[in-house]
Structure 1
Amino acid sequence: MRAVTCHRAELEVEDVADPVPERGQVLIDVERCGICGSDLHARTSCDETADDVAALGYDGFMRSDQRVVMGHEFVGTVADYGPRTKRTWPVGTRVVSLPVLRAGDAVHLTGLSEQAPGGYAEQVLATASMTMKVPDGLAADHAALTEPMAVALHAVRKGRVGAKDTAVVVGCGPIGLAVVLMLKATGVRHVIASDYSPGRRELARLCGADVVVDPATESPWSSFEDSKRYLTNPIALAELGLDAMDKLRAVPLLPWAHVMRAAEKAGATPRGPVVFECVGVPGMIEHVVSSAPLLTRVVVVGVCMATDSFRPSMAINKEIELRFAFAYDPSEFHQTLQWIGSEKVDVSPLVTGTVGLDGVAGAFDALRDPERHAKILVDPASAATV
C-alpha cells in the first residue's frame, strides 16, 4: 500500500507492506487522518522524546534513523479482523480508535512507533477493543478530530474549571482552539484566548472564546471584567488574610478557624484563573508562572520537546499550581465522539485544508505559518497536493 514515511525528518510517499491484522486487531481503510502538532515536533525532535520515554520504561517511541508511518488522528471503515477477534462492527462500518496498538505482548503508540504504523497511509491497524463506531451522519472530516478534541477534554477536566471560573488559553493553534471548544462545551462562561496571530484569534472567536487578546498589545490577565478580583502581589494576599482575621476575631466566641475552613470549601476564599498553556515552546511555562495572578492553576497542554526551565521560587511565592495533561482515557474519547456527533461541539472551524498522501510534506511546511492553517487532514484517496 502507499504510505508517507518519516526518516531523518524527511517525509516521502512509499510503497510499504500491507498491514495484516493479528488477534485482537482490526484493519481499517483510512478515510482521513489529521496532522497533529506533536507530529510536527516528532518529525524533527523525536530522539529527545524517545530518550525521555525510554527512561520511563518504553523504548518503542520513534527514532530519527527509523522509517515510521506517522498519523494518529484517524477515521476510516472496517476492512477486516484478525483471527479469533470479535467482529463487533460489520465490514464497511465507519470507526475511530484510540491510537494504541497491542501487538503480541507489547503496546505501542500508533503513528509514533515503528511497530505501529499510523494513518498517513491507505490502511491502519487498531486494537479492536479500542475502536468506536462513528455516529450516523457524522462526516469523516469531523470524526477525524475526535482524538485531538479528546486531548482537550482531558486537559479541561485536569484543570477542574468551574462554570464561574475564568479560563485563559495561551496559544490558539489546533490544541488551543480545541481547548476553547471544550471549555465552552463544559459550561465555562469566561474564556479568554491569547495569540499573536490575527488568523488564529479569529478562529478562537469562531470556537466561542468570549475575549480574544493580542498579547503584543494587551495582557490576557487584565482583559476580563472580573480581573480585579485576582491578586498579583503576595503582600496583598497577606493583607487580605490580616483583614479577615481582624474581622473574625472581633466577634466574641466565633469559631473563626471553622468559619475559614467552611469559606474555603464554599469557594469563597481567593483563587486565580485557570490557564492552559498550549504553545509548547521553551520559556512559556516561565512566562505564565511569572505573569499570571497569584493562586493560578496552570495546565500545560502544549508539547515542548526541548529542555526548559522556570523559577520555582516565583511559583512558590505566588502559590501557582502546575499540572501537565497527556492524552485521555477511553471514556473521554467516547464522550468527545458523542459530543461531535450531536453537534454540541462544532469542530468545523478547525479544519482548514485537506491533502492526499503526496501533499503531506507540503502540508507540514504550510502548518508553520499560523495565518494559513489550523488543522490539515490527509485523505489517502485524494490527489490534492496543496
Structure 2
Amino acid sequence: MRAVTVHEGQLNVEEIPAPVPGPGQVLVDVTRCGICGSDLHARQHADETADAVAEVGYDHFMRSNHTVVMGHEFTGRVAAYGPKTRKKWPVGTSVVALPILGTPEGIHLTGLTRHATGGYAEQVVVNESVTFEVPDGVSDDHAAMTEPLAVALHAVNRGEVKAKDTAVVIGCGPIGLAVILMLKAQGVRTVIASDFSAGRRALAARCGADVVVNPAVESPWASFADSTYLQGPTDLGQFGLDTMKQLRAVPLLPWRRVMEAAQKLGAAPRGPVVFECVGMPGIIEDIVSHAPLLSRVVVVGVCMEPDTFRPVMALNKELELRFVFAYDPAEFHRTLMMIASGKVDPSPLLTGTVGLEGVATAFDQLADPEQHAKILIDPTSRATRA
C-alpha cells in the first residue's frame, strides 16, 4: 500500500506492506487523517519525546532513526476482520477508532511508533473493542475530527468548568480552537481567546469565543480588573473580613455552619479556568504571573523543551495547575455523538485537504499560523497543496 513515512525528519511517499489484522483487530481503509500538532513535534523532536515517554514506561515511541507512518486522527471504512472478532459492522461501514493498538506484545500508540502503522496511509489496523460506527450524515472530514476534539473535551472535563465561569484560552491553534468549541458546547457563557495571529483570532471568533484578544495590543487579563474575581491576597483577606462581619451581625446565626454549607454548595470564591494551548517555554510562567487568584490552569499545549515558573507566585495566588493527556473511550464516543448531533461543528478548524504526495508541503504550510488550522489527508486525492 501507499503511505507517507518519516525517517530522520524526512517525509516520503513509499510502497510498504499492507497491515494484516490480528486477533481482535479490524482492517480499515483510511478515508481521512488529520495532521496533528504532535505529529509536527514528533517529526522534529522524536528522540526527546521518546526519552520522556520511556521514563513513564513506554519504550517504543518513535525515534528519529526509525521509519514510521504517522497519523492518529483518522476515519475510514471497514475492509476486513482479523480472527476472534465479532464482525459487528458490514464491510464498507464508516468507523473511527481510538489510536491505540493492543497486540500480544503489548499496547502501542498508533502513528507514533514503528510497531503500529498510522493513518498517513491507505489502510490502518485498529482494535475492534475501541472502534465506533460513524452515524449516518457525518462526513469523513467531520468524523476525522473526533480524536482531536476528544482531547479538547477531556481538557474541558478536567478543568471542571461551570457555565458561569470565565474560561480563558491562551493560544488559538487547532487544539485551542477545539477547546473553544467544547467550552461553548458545554454551555460556558464567557470564553476569552488570545492569540497573536489575526487568522487564528478570526477562527476563534467563528468557533464561538465571546472575547478575542490580540495580546500584542491588549492583555487577555485586562477584563478581570473590574471583575468579581479576586486579584491579590489582600482581596482574599478583605473578602474573609467582610463575610465574617456579615455573618456575625446576626447574633444567633451559627456562622461556622453557614460558611461550611456555603463552601459545599460552591459559594466560595473561585477564579477563572485557564487553558494553556501554546506549548512554548514561558507560557505557564506568564499565566501564573497574571491570572487572578484561585484560577485553575489546565495545560493542554505540548511543550517539548524544559520550562520554569515561579512556584511562590502560584502559591501566593493558590492556583491549581493541571496537565492533561488524551481522553478515555467514553469521552471519545461522546465527542463523536456531539459531532453527529450538530452540538459541535468542527468546520471552522478545517482549512485544507491534501493527498499523500502533499503531506510534506502541508507540514510546511502548518508552520505558518495565518494559513491553516487543520489539514486533512485524503489518501485517494492527488492534491499536493492545501
- The Cα offsets for residues 236-284 of structure 1, whole Å up to 9 and x where unpaired, read as 2112212222332343243222121122222222211000111111111
What is the rounded CA distance, in whole Å, between the counterparts of 2:342 and 2:252 in structure 1? Answer: 56
Q: Residues of 2 paired with 1:111 and 1:30: CA distance?
A: 13
3-state SS of 1:270 partner: coil
| CA distance in structure 2 between the aligned counterparts of 1:262 and 1:20, rounded to whole angstroms | 59
Q: The residue matched to 2:87 in structure 1 has which SS?
A: coil
Q: Secondary structure at the match of 1:124?
A: strand
Deviations 1:321-371 (A, max 9, x none): 001111111111111001111111111111000000111011011001111
Q: Name the CA distance, whole Å, in 2 between partners of 1:199 and 1:30.
A: 30
CA distance in 1, matches of 2:64, 2:226: 46
Task: Say whether the 8 Å CA contact 1:155–1:299 is kept in structure 2.
Answer: yes
- Segments of 4+ moved more than 6 angstroms: none
1:280-315 CA-partner distances (Å, limit 9, x unpaired)? 111111111111101000011111111111111110
Question: What is the CA-CA distance between 1:227 and the residue it aligns to?
Answer: 5.1
Equivalent in the alignment of 2:357: 358
Q: Distance in 2 between matches of 1:310 and 1:204?
A: 27
Task: Give the structure 2 partner of residue 245 of structure 1.
Answer: 244
Separation in 2, partners of 1:192, 1:5? 39
CA distance in 2, matches of 1:223, 1:39: 35
For 1:186 and 1:148, locate their aligned partners in 2 and report how far apart those are by CA, in whole Å. Answer: 16
Who is 1:204 aligned against?
204
Task: Provide the C-alpha distance between the structure 2 equivalents of 1:247 and 1:182, rounded to a whole number of angstroms.
Answer: 39
- 1:190: Cα distance to partner? 0.7
The answer to whether the aligner puts 1:143 opposite 2:149 as a matched pair is no
Q: Which residue of 2 aligns with 1:327?
A: 326
Give 1:45-124 correspondences, 5 Å limit.
Answer: 45-124=45-124
**Structure 2 length as normaliser, TM-score?**
0.98
**Unpaired segments ≥5 residues, structure 2:** none
SS in 2 for 1:341: helix
**SS of corresponding position for 2:267:** coil
Rounded Cα–Cα distance in structure 2 between residues aligned with 1:176 and 1:216: 18
* Counterpart residue type for residue 213 of structure 2: V
Matches within 5 A, 1:145-224: 145-223=145-223
User: 1 CA distance for matches of 2:258 and 2:107?
Assistant: 51
Q: What is the rounded CA distance, in whole Å, between the counterparts of 2:134 and 2:23 in structure 1?
A: 23
Q: How far 1:219 moved relative to its partner? A: 1.6
> How many Å separate the matches in 1 of 2:304 and 2:63?
14
Letter matched to residue 148 of structure 2: P
Q: Deviations over 1:122-177 (max 9, x none)?
A: 11110111110001111101100000000000110100100111111111000100
Secondary structure of the 2:250 match is: coil
- Structure 1: distance between partners of 2:226 and 2:41: 35
Structure 1 CA distance, aligned partners of 2:262 and 2:221? Answer: 25
Partner of 1:286: 285
Q: Are the aligned partners of 1:213 and 1:223 in contact in 2 as well (CA < 8 Å)?
A: no
1:83 partner letter: P
Question: Is the partner of 1:96 in helix, strand or coil?
Answer: strand
Q: Which amino acid aligns with 1:62?
A: M
CA contact (8 A) 1:211 1:223 kept: no
Shift of 1:14: 1.1
Partner of 1:33: 33
Structure 2 CA distance for aligned equivalents of residues 261 and 40 of structure 1: 49
**Alpha-carbon offset, residue 52 of structure 1:** 1.3
CA offsets per residue over residues 29-73 of structure 1, 9 Å max, x none?
A: 000000001111111112111111111111011111101100000
Q: C-alpha distance in 1, partners of 2:160/2:363?
A: 34
1:376 is matched by which residue type in structure 2?
I
Specify the SS of the correspondent of 1:68: coil
For 1:19 and 1:271, the matched residues in 2 are separated by 51
For residues 211 and 32 of structure 1, the distance between their equivalents in structure 2, rounded to whole angstroms, comes to 32
How many angstroms does 1:223 deviate by?
3.1
Q: Whole-Å Cα distance in 2 between the matches of residues 227 and 64 of structure 1?
A: 50
Q: TM-score, normalised by structure 1?
A: 0.98
* Total equivalences in the alignment: 385
Aligned equivalent of 1:313: 312
Kindly provide the amino acid, as one letter, of the partner of residue 318 in structure 2.
E
2-structure distance, mates of 1:223, 1:203 = 21
Distance 2:86 2:304 in 1: 39
Letter in structure 2 aligned against 1:244: T
Q: CA RMSD in A?
A: 1.2
| CA-CA distance at 1:6 after TM superposition | 1.0
Give the whole-Å Cα distance in 1 for the aligned partners of 2:99 and 2:236.
45
* Residue ranges of structure 1 left out of the alignment (5+ in a row): none
The 8 Å contact of residues 150 and 333 in structure 1, kept in 2 or not, is answered as yes
Which whole-Å CA distance do the structure 1 matches of 2:208 and 2:324 have between them? 22
Q: Which residue of 2 aligns with 1:128?
A: 128
SS at match of 2:221: helix
